[in-house]
Amino acid sequence: MERVLNLIQIKRIDNLLADREFIGHEWLDWLPQNKLSCRIRVKSNNMVEHRSKNIAISQLCRGASINQTVTWYSRVPIYIAAHRTLKGFLIVVATEKSDSMIDDYGKCCGIGTMLGNLKSRGFDLEYTHMTNLDRMDKLMELLTIAAVWYLLVGHWCYENANQLPLNKLLPPAKSLLRLGLGRLRRVLKNSCAKNGKTTF
């Protein structure tokens, strides 16, 4: 993260969104010291200090209403937002209190989907085994243009992204990018078939 801050100004970072692997006292100490706020998902059985006792976060949130923010203080003030679903609690911790903690973390779904599409599903970036940074920059520019194109087609197919069935814990069945990629693939294949071509 210190290497990232050498490239990006802190004032340009709204929140750091992270999954359950990015947790720990040292990390949660370092973030506020560097004026960075975060939204990190945690396991319900993670232990926290509350009123001089160590308890599971699920116990702390047990009596909370949906989306209610609960706070406790140990070495660093931590804020908890718990959203109850049919599969249990989605629990997010933050270094700053906000009513939008759950919604902020929900953006991780789109980010993770995009990275997955770039790495393997659709673009197969990781199979290029490319290490030259200049070439990587140019390739990422091309992939970004392609991804935006697919997203626009996906939006056109679905008309409104809000129509996608979303869940706080699970991603939609297909992302807008995958929908756009599928539509373009069918259009190109049909065009090739009409012109007697086997590739495009």
Q: Report the candidate in 92, 147, 91, 93 with the shortest Cα–Cα distance to residue 117.
A: 147
Q: How far apart are CA 80 and CA 95, in angstroms?
A: 9
Q: In the prediction, which pLDDT does 163 show?
A: 56
Work out the widest C-alpha separation in the chain, in whole angstroms. Answer: 75
- pLDDT at res. 79: 76
Give the residue numbers spanning the domain of 84: 2-99
Number of structural domains (the chain) is 2
Q: Is residue 105 part of a domain?
A: no
Q: Is residue 113 part of a domain?
A: no
Mean pLDDT, range 130-149, rounded to an integer: 84
- Predicted confidence at residue 80, as pLDDT, reads 75
Tell me: do 190 and 129 sit in the same domain.
Answer: yes
User: Based on the domain organization, do 93 and 125 belong to the same domain?
Assistant: no
Q: Does residue 95 sit in the same domain as residue 18?
A: yes
In a domain, 111, yes or no: no
pLDDT digits 0-9 by tens, 97-119: 777 777 888 777 777 777 777 77
Does the pLDDT value for residue 23 go beyond 80?
no
Are both 14 and 88 inside the same structural domain?
yes
Residues 49 and 126 in one domain: no
